[in-house]
Structure 1
């Protein structure tokens, strides 16, 4: 670094777009070699909405998110982000997007303040001292501003990463499994901060494997092997799969689960502690089967609400792996 501040960047104001939509994309496709990693995905994200992306590893979640925000060019499809065309105006979009990767990528031999000041220089911010001060105050980093980043816990590194991608006051945040490896208390605090940002009108796109986090999103999309299988609120995603679920208590549940999975009325069984969740799409046939088994074997069975996790497991087990052995 030569000590000279970067030239201030040109300010481009986001366009109003279509009403309250921050992102509106239609039939996005992307190939990497012979792999079709995103297939005809269409989504809308509103301003101030936290939109969660669920799916197994390698399902195309991150690729899809990056295309929606102009960070990756689709092979085909169209759309807008903040009113800008995601193909022709990607440079303008990038000025209003903050991207937080799963892997912590800041300098551990610099303090929090030094890291943020360096990022502000990269953005070419003329008022970087004020921007750094605001970011430190907003995310509760003031008491640790002079602490070396390498000595921070995972939760505090996460706060630093969020502060860094908020420096240029983006209107869209992309978060790629941001709480992986972070303890539950820090995860909870992080999500409180995300809801604060959303209340200010910032749209948040986040990929996660945690069901408690997914339930805190305003909307969800489930992507598997490049295909969008379900989207909507958590309740809408659950309802879309038409699963009836029962809780089973009794002895030898591992053997019972194996037996039940061979029954046409059973779509899946999932162990939850000392209970077994049994789901199927034919509610009447499933109830008859389980009540007969309860009577024969002294089991306790009761209907329960199908959870988002039940649906997540169902979708993951029934998705077709089109990537084969090379996925």
Structure 2
């Protein structure tokens, strides 16, 4: 993998409405990049462009040296959407088995990968439980396990810790750090300021415009701010945290 597995110069419109306006960004191997912005700012549209779910109106999205959408590249991305795409009538194990097959994980490796992923999200005791009986937080954790199943080169997570208790959230971020240290690029969308502080770099987005990019310390220093929330407001953002 190149040091710059993601490069974008992209505009996205729906009809006459511009959702993303000329977003120029380079994401590095082995970093946790946080995309910070309020609801409706364009974060989810951007990650869908990276994953190949959406196509650019103008410009290009280059992922692992290929212009998206590219089916082979899509198989190397682990994606966790805001909405949990799970089969409630199936057990957790059956869901994982299904998505492992879709991701190209061999039958021989599936059981070990499933157990490892479920241990990371503290759900290994719930493998035979039907997903319709899971709480919202458990469904988020299962979705994260699915994204991790095929050992992706790039992990794209849209609001991954919503509804997850603080102690488990800490464990999940430790998992992110471990993956980052192994060279995985992780993109996390969030509006939670303490999570933004933990990212290697941040991109601040408002109304489809990228208003700032830098490390948390750089962004605070440039705006003479004590917190990322203050920095975001200084750049003209709008806090979305309760």
Q: Which has the higher contact order (CA 8 A, sep 6+)?
A: 2
Match 2:237 to one of 296, 316, 319: 316
Establish whether residue 307 from structure 1 lines up as the match of residue 227 from structure 2.
yes
Find the counterpart in structure 1 of residue 115 from structure 2: 136
Work out the number of aligned pairs and report it.
235
Contact 1:59 1:224 in 2 (8 A): yes
Match 1:108 to one of 81, 88, 94: 88
Contact 1:21 1:45 in 2 (8 A): yes
Task: Report SS of the residue matched to 1:186.
Answer: helix
- Give the Cα separation in 1 of the matches to 2:102 and 2:50: 24
After superposition, what is the alpha-carbon deviation per residue over 1:266-309, rounded to whole angstroms, capped at 9, x for unaligned? Answer: xxxxxxxxxxxxxxxxxxxxxxxxxxxxxxxxxxxxxxx52111
Report which stretch shifted further, 137-146 or 207-216.
137-146
Q: Which runs of 4+ in 1 moved over 4 A?
A: none
Find the counterpart in structure 2 of residue 80 from structure 1: 62
After superposition, what is the alpha-carbon deviation per residue over 1:210-235, rounded to whole angstroms, capped at 9, x for unaligned? Answer: 11111111110001011110011001
Report which stretch shifted further, 194-203 or 53-62.
194-203
- Give the Cα separation in 1 of the matches to 2:226 and 2:94: 48
Return closer, same or farther for 1:198/1:34 CA change in 2, 3 Å cut-off: same
- Give the Cα separation in 2 of the matches to 1:214 and 1:312: 11
Task: Report SS of the residue matched to 2:102.
Answer: helix
- Give the Cα separation in 1 of the matches to 2:93 and 2:50: 31
Match 2:48 to one of 35, 48, 66: 66
Task: Report SS of the residue matched to 2:237.
Answer: helix
Task: Report SS of the residue matched to 2:86.
Answer: coil
- Give the Cα separation in 1 of the matches to 2:158 and 2:148: 15
- Give the Cα separation in 2 of the matches to 1:24 and 1:190: 26
Gap runs ≥5 in structure 1: 1-15, 244-304, 319-327
- Give the Cα separation in 2 of the matches to 1:157 and 1:29: 32
Matches within 5 A, 1:206-245: 206-240=188-222, 242-243=223-224
- Give the Cα separation in 1 of the matches to 2:141 and 2:97: 15
Contact 1:21 1:44 in 2 (8 A): yes
- Give the Cα separation in 2 of the matches to 1:198 and 1:156: 24
Q: CA deviation at 1:102?
A: 1.5
Give 1 or 2 for the bigger CA radius of gyration.
1
Q: CA deviation at 1:317?
A: 4.4
Find the counterpart in structure 2 of residue 274 from structure 1: none
Contact 2:156 2:188 in 1 (8 A): yes
Contact 2:104 2:150 in 1 (8 A): no
Q: C-alpha root-mean-square deviation of aligned residues, in Å?
A: 2.1
